[in-house]
Amino acid sequence: MKHIVIIGNGISGITTARWVRKLSDHKITVISSETDHFFSRTALMYIYMGHMRYEDTKPYEDWFWDKNRIELKKTHVSKIEFKQKSLVLDTGETMAYDKLVLALGSKSNKFGWPGQDLKRVGGLYHYQDLEQMEVHSQGLKRAVIVGGGLIGIEMAEMFHARHIPVTMLVREASYWNNILPAEESEMINQHIWKNGIDLRLEVNLQEIVDDGAGNACAVVVKETDEKLDCGYVGLTAGVSPNVGWLKESGLEIGRGIKVNEYLETNMQDVYAIGDCAEQQSPAPGRRPIEAIWYTGRMMGETAAYNICDKRVKYNPGLWFNSAKFIDIEYQVYGEVPAKIRDGMTTLFWKHQDNEKSIRINYDTETKAVLGFNLFGIRYRHEVCEKWIVEKTHIEEVLTHLGMANFDPEFYKQYEQYLIDQYNRQTGSSVTLKTKRGLNKVLAFLKS
């Protein structure tokens, strides 16, 4: 029996622990200094907004860990001795391992802004970030958020839910336009403004002002030299792998910890997974680092198989993601770049309410569908994936597009509008044949 030690109790680390237990009788220890138990990181915002309690975000009951013989240790690892296969904990205690999994997660980016380490300044990644937001929200008259993306809009919604005025400083010309196509990005700009959030584009943070007691009290906007009074500053300009403390350890590190296709590092019997792992040879169309919940889960399972001597290559499959921009749901499947590449044609429709849109990208020559981008309308993951993987012709997809719709039965469907748009663009005469229906979907997925 070997001792498997996992540093990090997020989705990747806990998935590894669960699968190692399914596959073996190895001793398993999970170390984290963040919380006693695994929780859903994506639900942090809902705790603050009063929709959930912390205990509601724990996917497993507290007795689950003892029952499955997974030891949880709440402490901090201060050093790793890779040659000795030993960890040094902040208590001074040492712990030996046979195989080590580094599931270290991310940290909020800081770019050397004056005042970035003051009190009342924080990101939104760890449970402690939530606690800090809660402590400083009492009597808060204004918050300033530096950065956009999904974390930025989540923090803005959190403050907005408590009627705390929010200003967002975003350096891009349009919200998240390095990821979203121009039309969708502009739609999100309008939605943020509609909800009463002060979104300022093409501006940068110059400094965070100290009130003289070590607290943030204002920010200065670089382009205008304007001083904005505030009682909290949220830093949401992305995240980066939490690996700085290992730079001199001998571990091969780029932006993250370098891993091969089996998630192995350059150190014997050491694996890296989740947000901190950097693929040396990522799959075509994929990034070396993908700080996404589902990739963390897939990495965790893959690492467990390799730890248990069942060699499996990491395969992230089709790219997908989902999120919310306040109350507009967002889904993406497959290839949907911010700017359409050569050889790709895009089909886009937007509702007049400016809160719903459908985009389908397809190969210009073969007409094979490549990706789906959806706002305010839900499509079935399995159906979209099957169409993309099987390189289904765009007109075949449009003919049966209603089958992908996953909105409740009483919701209006908008597939015909997209088909009309396609027919206008191409001069075709495609008609919608298949509408919503679970039996049709099940039959399609089995075919």
* Ordered mean pLDDT values, 10 residues apiece, the chain (447 residues): 96 98 98 96 95 96 97 96 96 96 95 97 96 96 96 97 98 96 98 98 98 98 97 96 94 97 98 97 92 95 98 95 95 97 98 97 98 97 96 96 88 93 96 74 74
* Residue 211: other Cβ atoms inside 10 A: 13
The reported pLDDT for the residue numbered 438 is 65
Is the separation of the CB atoms in 346 and 360 below 8 Å?
yes
Burial class (CB in 10 A: 0-12, 13-18, 19+), 15: buried
The reported pLDDT for the residue numbered 439 is 67
Domain spanning 121-237, CATH architecture: 3-Layer(bba) Sandwich (3.50)
The reported pLDDT for the residue numbered 436 is 65
* CATH T-level fold of 3-105+241-307: FAD/NAD(P)-binding domain (3.50.50)
- CA 343 – CA 121 distance, rounded (Å): 45
By C-alpha distance, which of 371, 375, 429, 372 is closest to 399?
A: 429
Sheet with 77-81, side-by-side order of all strands: 77-81, 86-89, 94-96
The reported pLDDT for the residue numbered 437 is 66
Cβ contacts of residue 383 below 8 Å, gap of 6+? Answer: 403, 404, 441, 444, 445
Q: Do domains 3-105+241-307 and 121-237 have the same CATH topology?
A: yes
pTM of the predicted structure, to 2 decimals: 0.93
Residue spans of the domains in the chain: they are 3-105+241-307, 121-237, 320-446
Cβ contacts of residue 34 below 8 Å, gap of 6+? Answer: 9, 126, 127, 128
Domain spanning 320-446, CATH architecture: 2-Layer Sandwich (3.30)
- CA 186 – CA 175 distance, rounded (Å): 7
